[in-house]
């Protein structure tokens, strides 16, 4: 045999083996169920920004499931493209680094729940910034009002801890209703 017929025989044998499928039977399309679905839907948060006239405007942004306090972190984030094009802005002076719950325990009993907000810097909070905070916090489940007060302790230079208290007995609470003139 010359090389050409040997090559042809090898190719024919390979094609026959491929077509035979090595004993695998032909099947139809196997059903695998419906399309994939995310286990956790995207959470939505409401943040209050200011328009060109200084009025509060609610905007909805994507959040994180189980993290409703991220709305407060979003107050210091510059408005995104569509918000900027609409003339929206924020007056919250500093980057909010974190927001989390901390129980206030007195005499072995829970006296309330504090919403602790860590901010970077020592910027002044204008009335409009306080309105943004109060109205954004009002959209967080379980928060009826807030108190913003400086809470100094040792931190690296340029760092300030601001304490936002959700419920305080005998202390005036800051609520979104107090800023009706900005709505």
Q: What is the pLDDT along the chain (183 residues), one digit of tens a residue?
A: 566 777 777 667 666 666 665 566 666 666 666 666 555 566 889 999 999 999 999 999 998 887 777 888 788 788 999 999 999 999 887 656 555 555 555 566 655 555 555 555 555 677 898 889 888 888 877 666 665 554 434 444 554 444 444 433 334 567 788 899 998
Is residue 13 a part of any domain in this protein? no
Positive or negative: CA dihedral 114, 120, 124, 128: negative
Laid out side by side, the sheet with 96-106 consists of 96-106, 109-120, 159-165, 148-151
Is residue 31 a part of any domain in this protein? no
Is residue 39 a part of any domain in this protein? no
Helix/strand/coil for 89: strand
Is residue 57 a part of any domain in this protein? yes
Tally of domains within the chain: 1
- Please state whether the predicted TM-score (pTM) of the whole model is above 0.85: no
CB 138 within 8 A of CB 175: yes
Q: Looking at residue 42, what is its pLDDT?
A: 66
Q: Looking at residue 173, what is its pLDDT?
A: 62
**Nearest to 100, CA basis, from 123, 134, 66:** 66
Show the domain range for 121: 44-182
Cα 54 from Cα 40, distance rounded (Å): 36
Cα 75 from Cα 126, distance rounded (Å): 13
Q: Looking at residue 67, what is its pLDDT?
A: 79
Q: Looking at residue 137, what is its pLDDT?
A: 83
Q: Looking at residue 104, what is its pLDDT?
A: 55
Q: Looking at residue 60, what is its pLDDT?
A: 94
Residues in the chain, overall count: 183
Positive or negative: CA dihedral 140, 142, 146, 152: negative
For 103, phi then psi, to 5°, come to -75, 140
Is residue 8 a part of any domain in this protein? no
99: alpha, beta or left, given left = phi > 0 and alpha = psi -120 to 50? beta
């Amino acid at each position: 045999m010359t090389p050409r017929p040997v090559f042809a025989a090898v190719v024919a044998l390979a094609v026959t083996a491929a077509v035979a499928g090595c004993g695998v039977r032909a099947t139809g399309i196997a059903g695998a169920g419906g399309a994939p679905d995310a286990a956790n839907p995207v959470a939505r948060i409401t943040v209050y920004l200011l328009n060109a006239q200084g009025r509060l405007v609610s905007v909805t942004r994507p959040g994180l499931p189980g993290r409703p306090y991220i709305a407060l972190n979003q107050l210091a984030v510059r408005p995104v493209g569509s918000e900027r094009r609409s003339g929206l802005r924020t007056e919250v002076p500093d980057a909010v680094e974190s927001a989390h719950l901390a129980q206030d325990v007195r005499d072995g009993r829970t006296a309330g729940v504090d919403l602790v907000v860590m901010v970077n810097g020592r910027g002044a909070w204008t009335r409009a910034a306080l309105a943004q905070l109060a109205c954004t916090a009002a959209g967080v489940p379980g928060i009826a009002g807030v108190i913003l007060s400086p809470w100094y302790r040792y931190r690296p230079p340029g760092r300030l801890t601001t304490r936002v208290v959700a419920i305080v007995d005998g202390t005036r609470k800051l609520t979104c209703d107090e800023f009706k003139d900005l709505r």
